[in-house]
Amino acid sequence: MHTPRLILLVLAVAAAPLEAQLRPNVESAGVLRVCADPDNLPASSQSGEGYENRIAEFIAKAWNSRVEYAWWPVRRGFFSRALNGRYCDVAITAPAGLDMAGVTEPYFRSTYYLVYREDSGLDLRSLDDPAFKRLRIGVHLLNSDAENTPPAMALSSHGVVGNLVGFGTFYSEGGDRPEDIITAVVDRRVDVAIVWGPMAGYYARRAAPAKLVLRPVPDDSASGIPFAYSFGMATRRRDRALRDSLNALVKSRRSELQAILREFGVPMLPLAADSADRPAGAGGSPGQ
C-alpha cells in the first residue's frame, strides 16, 4: 500500500521540470558525461558525426569508460547551465580563459578564414584590402551571447557595413543553417565569406566540384580585434581531479587529438605560448 508521503513524492517528481529530472547528483563511475550540441557540425551531432564525438570516444577508450551525452544547444547557457548545472561533467571544446569553467591546457588553436572561389580572380589577405569596400561579404553576425562576431566588429571598424550579407550562426527551425555561408560562396551569392576555421575547413571540403581558397585572417590592427583563439576542455571549476586527468591526457596525447581534428579538415595554428585568450562569445567557437 502506498503511503501518503510516497504518493506525494511520486507526484512531485512527475510534476518537476524535465531538466530537473534528468540531473544526476553525482558523477557516475566509468561514465564520461559530456555536454554536446545535437546539431553543430563539424563539432558535434546527435548521430556522433562530429570531432567532439570522436574525441569523447577517444577519451572514454583511454579511460576504459563509456560516453553519456547531455544534449544542449551551444547558444543556450551551454557552460552556465549545462556544465555548471551538473547535467554533464565535460565540455570537449572550450575557449582558453573562459571565466565560468575550469579549462585544461589547449589542444588546438584556430582562426577565422577568408573563403572565396579559386576562379574569382581575388587575392585577399587581410581586411585592409580596399576591395572589401565593393565586394559582397558573407559573415555570421551574432555569437552565442547575441553579440557581434569578431569579423562583424572588425569590418564595421573599417567602415564596411552596407555590403555585408548576414548569415545565421546556428540552425533555425526556419531551415537556415550555419554552413549556408559556404554554399553562398559556391553559388556566387557572395564574393567572399569570413568563417571560423573549423567550419570553413569542414564545409569547404564538401564544396566540390567548386574549388575554394581559404586564407587565414590576421589579427586586425585597426580595431584591435583578435581572430585566432585557443581551445581546451572544460570542467566545473571545483572538479580539479577530473580536470587534472584531462590535462594529463591533453599533454600526452595532443598530437592524436589534433589528428582527429585534421580528419575533419580543421585548420590549426601553432599553439601560442600564452593561450589565455578568450573569444567574444562563451560558446564552442568565436562565431558561436
pLDDT tens-place string over residues 104-161: 999 999 999 999 999 999 999 999 999 999 999 999 986 555 578 899 999 998 899 8
Given a cut of 60, whether residue 11 has pLDDT beyond it is no
pLDDT confidence band for 222 (50 / 70 / 90)? confident
CA nearest to 106, candidates 217, 261, 234, 263: 234
Arithmetic mean of pLDDT over the chain: 85
Three-class SS state of 8: helix
Given a cut of 90, whether residue 176 has pLDDT beyond it is no
The answer as to CATH 3.40.190.10 being correct for domain 112-216 is: yes
Q: What is the pLDDT of residue 223?
A: 79
pLDDT confidence band for 224 (50 / 70 / 90)? confident
Q: What is the pLDDT of residue 110?
A: 98
What size, in residues, is the chain?
288
Given a cut of 90, whether residue 240 has pLDDT beyond it is yes
Given a cut of 80, whether residue 272 has pLDDT beyond it is no
* Cis preceding-peptide flag for 209 (omega within 30 of 0): yes
Q: Hey, what's the cell of 58?
A: 577517444
Model pTM score = 0.84
What's the rounded mean pLDDT across residues 215-226? 87
Element (H, E) at 260: helix 240-263
Q: Where are the domains of the chain?
A: 23-108+228-263, 112-216
Q: List, for residues 24-75, the tens digit of each pLDDT value.
A: 334 456 899 999 999 999 999 999 999 999 999 999 999 999 999 999 998 7
Domains 23-108+228-263 and 112-216 share a fold: yes
pLDDT confidence band for 22 (50 / 70 / 90)? very low
Q: What is the pLDDT of residue 148?
A: 80
Task: Sort 1 into a burial class: Cβ within 10 Å, 0-12 / 13-18 / 19+.
Answer: exposed
DSSP classification of residue 237:
T
Q: What is the pLDDT of residue 52?
A: 99
Beta bridge partners of 33: 68
Q: What is the pLDDT of residue 28?
A: 56
DSSP classification of residue 89:
S
Q: What is the pLDDT of residue 283?
A: 43
**23-108+228-263 CATH:** 3.40.190.10
What's the rounded mean pLDDT across residues 217-231? 88
